[in-house]
């Protein structure tokens, strides 16, 4: 039976799981006709995730929320999945870069991006944006240095860390990070354009601009 993923079909956080599922043949289906603000407000949905956020994965054993947790679960479904590396230290580094991608890259992209949408919960404040951009640059600089010597984040093939980081960068590249901004980080650029092209990625992500 396919596992069912609840999210809109443009949700970068859902893509993490869909790509991880592609890699080693786990059957995950994105639910059809998901409507943000409607589907995720139903009482069935709130039973799966009480705070009503997407993404949620429905499994025969119960539901799981938090997109990275879902991607990790999917990855563990296959014993000794290479997406989790081939040693404990690789596993440690994969977790390190997943959290880095989430807390240093995604969080700062969001601190930059969300206030520009005019939501009340995220007021636009110029100096706050500047600090977000500075923190963003610091994270990308660190990545750029790491990727100068490494094709992938960890080891010599795609891991879950690559999947999480790439999905996050996809949003950044398509909404706030212009060429002018990213050109200071050539290894990150090379990395992203390499990553979005393998079949398992492009099948899910489509064409990124």
Q: Which of residues 65-94 bind another protein (CB under 8 A)?
A: 65-70, 72-73, 76-77, 87-89, 91-93
Q: Is 106:170 a contact under the CB 8 Å cutoff?
A: no
Q: Is 51 in the site for another protein (CB under 8 A)?
A: yes
Q: Using alpha carbons, list the distances in angstroms from residue 202 to 27, 49, 121, 137, 166.
A: 18, 29, 33, 26, 11
Number of residues in contact with another protein under rule CB under 8 A:
54
Instruction: Pick between residue 36 and residue 46 the one whose CB is nearest to another protein.
Output: 46
Instruction: Pick between residue 20 and residue 196 the one whose CB is nearest to another protein.
Output: 20
CB atoms within 10 A of CB 92: 11
Instruction: Pick between residue 143 and residue 196 the one whose CB is nearest to another protein.
Output: 143
Q: Which of 61, 80, 117, 179 binds another protein (CB under 8 A)?
A: 61
State the Cα–Cα distance between residues 172 and 166, nearest whole angstrom.
10
Q: Which of 127, 149, 179, 209 binds another protein (CB under 8 A)?
A: 127
Strand partners, 28: 3
State the Cα–Cα distance between residues 171 and 101, nearest whole angstrom.
12
Instruction: Pick between residue 10 and residue 96 the one whose CB is nearest to another protein.
Output: 96
Q: Which of 96, 174, 183, 197 binds another protein (CB under 8 A)?
A: 96
Of 93, 90, 94, 58, give the one whose Cα is nearest residue 74. 58
Radius of gyration, alpha carbons of the chain:
17
Instruction: Pick between residue 94 and residue 196 the one whose CB is nearest to another protein.
Output: 94
Q: Is the peptide bond before 55 cis (omega within 30 degrees of 0)?
A: yes
Q: Is 139 in the site for another protein (CB under 8 A)?
A: yes
Q: Is 41 in the site for another protein (CB under 8 A)?
A: no
State the Cα–Cα distance between residues 38 and 32, nearest whole angstrom.
13
Q: Which of 22, 114, 146, 198 binds another protein (CB under 8 A)?
A: 146
Q: Which of 4, 114, 128, 208 binds another protein (CB under 8 A)?
A: 128
Contact residues: another protein, CB under 8 A? 50-51, 57, 59, 61-62, 64-70, 72-73, 76-77, 87-89, 91-93, 95-96, 98-100, 102-104, 107, 116, 120-128, 130-131, 134-135, 138-139, 141-142, 145-146, 178, 180
């Amino acid at each position: 039976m396919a596992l069912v993923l609840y999210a809109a079909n443009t949700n970068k956080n859902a893509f993490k799981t869909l790509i991880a599922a592609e890699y080693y043949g786990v059957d995950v289906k994105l639910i059809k006709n998901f409507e943000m603000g409607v589907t995720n407000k139903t009482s069935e949905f709130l039973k799966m995730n009480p705070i009503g956020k997407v993404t949620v994965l429905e499994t025969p054993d119960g539901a799981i929320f938090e997109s990275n947790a879902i991607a990790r679960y999917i990855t563990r479904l296959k014993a000794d999945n290479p997406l989790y590396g081939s040693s404990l230290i690789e596993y440690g580094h994969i977790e390190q870069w997943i959290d880095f991608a989430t807390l240093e890259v995604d969080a700062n992209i969001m601190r930059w991006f969300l206030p520009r949408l005019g939501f009340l919960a995220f007021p636009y404040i110029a100096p706050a944006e500047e600090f977000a951009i500075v923190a963003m640059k610091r994270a990308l600089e660190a990545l750029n240095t790491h990727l100068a010597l490494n094709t992938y984040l960890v080891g010599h093939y795609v891991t879950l860390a690559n999947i999480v980081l790439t999905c996050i960068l996809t949003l950044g590249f398509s909404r706030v990070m212009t060429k002018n901004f990213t050109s200071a980080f050539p290894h990150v650029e090379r990395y992203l354009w390499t990553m979005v092209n393998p079949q398992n990625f492009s099948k899910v992500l489509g064409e990124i601009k």
